[in-house]
Amino acid sequence: EAGVAQSPRYKIIEKRQSVAFWCNPISGHATLYWYQQILGQGPKLLIQFQNNGVVDDSQLPKDRFSAERLKGVDSTLKIQPAKLEDSAVYLCASTLLGSHTEAFFGQGTRLTVV
């Protein structure tokens, strides 16, 4: 079974530029999560999708961050414009709907804003 796929693995941009990250969850996983992990901290939930609907985006900075999962499969997270404090690893995770199993994580995208 293929795992959660994310791209790119690394990205360096200048502040005020825009950037997009892509995630393809495990096949059949209805729930998809985007987390932001700043160095030395635990993952912080940015947004959660169930199929193509948003379940929770309470911690998403909506003035600059947006995310979509139009067909209920893969997802894109965008930052526009980026700030220095957005430097972090962006992790995508997925689970089966209603599952009692763990969340499966992708390798993450390491973003550096200079």
Partner 1 sequence: GQNIDQPTEMTATEGAIVQINCTYQTSGFNGLFWYQQHAGEAPTFLSYNVLDGLEEKGRFSSFLSRSKGYSYLLLKELQMKDSASYLCAVRDWVNSGTYKYIFGTGTRLKVLA
Give the binding site for partner 1 (CB under 8 A): 31, 33, 35, 40-45, 48, 50, 55-56, 91, 93, 95, 97-98, 100, 102-108, 110
Classify residue 100 as exposed, middle or buried by CB count within 10 Å of its CB (0-12, 13-18, 19+): exposed
Least distance in Å: CB of 82 to partner 1?
Answer: 21
Contact 105, 7 (CB under 8 A): no
Least distance in Å: CB of 112 to partner 1?
Answer: 13
d(CA 13, CA 84): 10
If the CB atoms of residues 43 and 113 are measured against partner 1, the closer one turns out to be: 43
Least distance in Å: CB of 103 to partner 1?
Answer: 5
If the CB atoms of residues 80 and 112 are measured against partner 1, the closer one turns out to be: 112
Contact 91, 108 (CB under 8 A): yes
* DSSP summary character for residue 103: P
